[in-house]
Amino acid sequence: MFGLDLPLGLPRLYAERHAGAENFPGFLRGLHRRPGFFAVAATLAEVSPDRPFYPARGMRGMTRAAHAAALGLPDPTCLGRRCDLRTAARPAGAPMFWTLGANQAGKAAIAAWREMLLPALARGLPLRFWPFEGRLAALAAPGTLVLAETYPAECYRHIGLRLAGSKRSRAARTEAGAALSAWAATSGVRLTPDLAAAIADGFGSDAAGEDRFDCVCGLFGVLNVLLGRRDEGYPGDPALLRWEGWVLGQTDPPLAPQPA
């Protein structure tokens, strides 16, 4: 099983109008017929349902409302999915087609969909997409690879971690290491010496330390569900199961209104 810290799903109104498939896995399998889909638009004039990612660079006057209008959506709330909205436990994620700034998910979606998922699907690898194709227990089987969306900020609370400061701070990551080690000990998860040392060290002093930290938190969040310590959070809304997807282990409802 892979937990992926990137969007697996589409905003429902965009999908209903423009996806041209029965569900999100079907949409992915058909992206080879949309060669310009991953080309990030430099201007709003270049944005279309077949080229939804924007902007290629920062410009004065850019707004998400204008981005939504260029995609034929009524307002900027339609750019996001329900699982992207904030909850009582974590902040909101970014709309998936937005590609600018630190709080964006578009570049991760482009890289993973184009360079990982599409080649794997083209080769006929046995990928299964949670929750679109069923509950975790039904998907997990020998000879298959289950993919589920994870969100490290969501996983923090699942594994009993509270950051005393920014994850960019090595000191904050080092302090959080006690909670990571404690979760592993109580879960029966044995850490390799290298991983135990990385946790104790705050995942290093370089800029990628926060990425390694989030990677381990996401991994522990996946294991937490697989070990039966947390419910998978399987959604009941048919639109989520068909188009938008969900974050593995998320049980808190969004606080903001559901996108129209």
Asked if pLDDT for residue 123 goes beyond 90, the answer is yes
Segment 89-112 mean pLDDT: 88
Q: Which range, of 29-43, 96-110, 164-178, 218-232, averages the lowest pLDDT?
A: 96-110
Confidence (pTM): 0.93
Strand partners, 54: 98
Residue 98 pLDDT? 92
Residue 245 pLDDT? 98
- pLDDT above 70 covers what percent of the chain? 98
**CB distance 210 to 167 below 8 Å:** yes
Mean pLDDT of the chain: 93
The domains of the chain are located at 2-244
CB atoms within 10 A of CB 92: 16
Residue 259 pLDDT? 46
Three-state SS at 165: coil
Strand partners, 111: none
Alpha carbons 254 and 256: distance in angstroms, whole number: 6
Give residue-wise pLDDT tens across range 37-86.
Answer: 999 999 999 999 999 999 988 877 788 899 999 999 999 999 999 999 99
Can you tell me which residue has the tokens 């509950």? 135
In eight-state DSSP terms, residue 90 is S
